Amino acid sequence: MESVTLPEDKLSLLDTYIRSLDDQEGMLIHILHRAQHLFGYLPPDLQLYIARSIGIPASKVYGVVSFYSYFTQVKRGEHTISVCMGTACFVKGAEQVKEALKKELKIGMDETTIDELFTLKEIRCIGACGLAPAVMVDDKVYGHMNEGNIKAVTSSYKGV
Ligand code: FES
């Protein structure tokens, strides 16, 4: 039942990888890396699947996933939009930029759009305070953001 939402082809690749390991429990981090690479994230049902596959408690898998910031339990979009909430940006209206982005993308923070194009996140100072309020899309910085120019930025990432 736990695999209902997980694509069978990817599960089978993960199974093959797990079976190839001698010390499966000792290789848990490697298995999780592999799983995140395959699925893009580590949802609870996938964590449960891995725990059952190698015969360890799900709580142990969860403990590792939540300890390392590299691992994510939330599906990420193709592009990550990071809204700077550092002091300079906050003073210059980052909160309004954040709200406008949520409205434009129809998602909350740490969520991903239905088309899986964008994930919205908060970030601390990105070193572009002179451009406050700033937003980063993947590793590209956009400055002087406001409700009026948000759409131009997001549209530039949408396919023609
Ligand atoms: S506070 Fe936003 S770039 Fe520095």
Q: If you write DSSP's letter for every residue of 68-135 in order, what string do you get?
A: -TT--SS---SEEEEEE-SHHHHHTTHHHHHHHHHHHHT--TT-B-TTS-EEEEEES--S-GGG-S-E
**What is the reported pLDDT for 158?**
85
138 labeled binding residue? no
Please say if the pLDDT value at position 148 is more than 80: yes
Residue 2 counted as an annotated binding residue: no
Average pLDDT, the chain: 92
pLDDT given at position 2: 41
Q: Is the pLDDT of residue 1 over 50?
A: no
Percent residues over pLDDT 90 in the chain: 79
132 lines ligand 1 (CB under 6 A): yes
Indicate if ligand 1 lies below 6 Å from the C-beta of 120: no
Q: What is the pLDDT of residue 56?
A: 96
Please report the domains of the chain, with CATH numbers, ordered by start residue. Answer: 8-67 (1.10.10), 79-155 (3.40.30.10)
Q: What number does the ligand 1 atom closest to the CA of 126 have?
A: 3
Q: Is 67 annotated to bind ligand?
A: no
